[in-house]
Structures are given as structure tokens and as C-alpha cells.
Amino acid sequence: MAKLYFYYASMNAGKSTTLLQADFNYRERGMRTLLFTAGIHDRGGKGVIDSRIGLKMSAIPFDDATDLRLIAEEEHFKAPLACILVDESQFLSATQVRQLAHLADEVGIPVLCYGLRTDFQGRLFPGSSELLALADALIEIKSVCECGRKATMNLRVDDAGNAIREGAQKEIGGNERYVALCRKHFMQRTASAV
């Protein structure tokens, strides 16, 4: 039976690298995969999954209006899909997560989603919330805080490295904009930003 998986972590944990390795493993064995990434995420270009260690792969960009189920079923009809992989899955809508659950449950295609659990304010993203509720398997990818503890939070910073507490939930950035921290240091840095 196919399952819906949610691989989650803080920034810089290697989520995209892990996704690209899984994709490579399927394709190396002659199996067909389908990759999606958030259209808002354009660090490596629109429709590109890129990792900080230099790996890249083309993917279908999605936004709130994208029908993932329809696209996947059409592709699966052309030639069977062995797996669907979704990068930046925190940007999925609740409806899209349910479409992915349908693909696992009714079509029999494993779906592997990779993304952040929480935003820079420590709040769940809508896609992550739905994945935490519906996924068959929740897998945490570990990252490290500056103190050596496990990083679980994503601190948004300004150009001077000061914590930012307010703003839009969706803002793309890399090491210049986000720092992965343990909860203790996240709370200390956000409290000092008052």
C-alpha cells in the first residue's frame, strides 16, 4: 500500500538534498517519478529544486490554484509513476495535501513531501499542518543549532542579523535571511527583538 510521507525540518537540514537523492534512487532503477516545487520558491529558478550543496532538478511549479491530483493522474496514465516528490511542501494548500493523500490511497503512488514545519514566528504553515494531520509517516530530518543542540525553529533576520518578529509568512531566503536554532535560542532571540 502506498503512503503519504512528510519529511520536515528547520532550514539548512538538507531536505532538498534528501529529496533529490530519493528521486535519483528511483530513476537509477528505471522508475518514473514526478517532482513538484512551490512556484514562489525561485532561489535556483522557477520550477527548479536546488540544494545548498549544488544539486538541481527540474520540477513542476505549483501555486494555490494548481491541481496536483489532475497533473499526477495524467502523467500516471501516460506511463506509470513510481513516486511523487514534493519540495517546499509547507506551501501546499490543505486541498492539495488531500489531493496527494488521494494519489497515495486511491491511485497507489507513494508521495514524499519535504518542507518546513513552522515559520519564523513558530507557527505551522497551512501545508505542514495538514501534512502533520494526514501523513502516514512523519520523519524529522535533523539540523544543528549554533549551540550544538537540535535546531527545530527558523529565525528570520534582517541585514544586521537582528531577529524579525513581524511580516508575511511566506518570504523566500537563504542563510542571509534565516537561521536555524533550537527552541531555547529562538525564544531568546525573538524575545530580545521586542
Where in the sequence numbering do the catalytic residues fall? 88
> Which candidate, 5, 2, 9, 11, places its Cα nearest to that of 180?
11
Helix (H) / strand (E) element for 165: namely none
Rg of the chain in Å (alpha carbons): 17
Which is nearest to 38 in space by CA: 115, 101, 117? 115
145, containing H or E segment: none
H or E segment to which residue 41 belongs: none
- The CB-based long-range contact list for 142-149 (8 Å cut-off, 24+ gap) reads 142/9, 142/13, 143/9, 143/10, 143/11, 143/12, 143/13, 143/14, 143/180, 144/180, 145/180, 145/181, 145/182, 145/185, 146/179, 146/181, 146/185, 147/182, 147/184, 147/185, 149/182, 149/184
Helix axes 94-102, 126-134, angle to 10 degrees: 30
Amino acid making up residue 90: Q
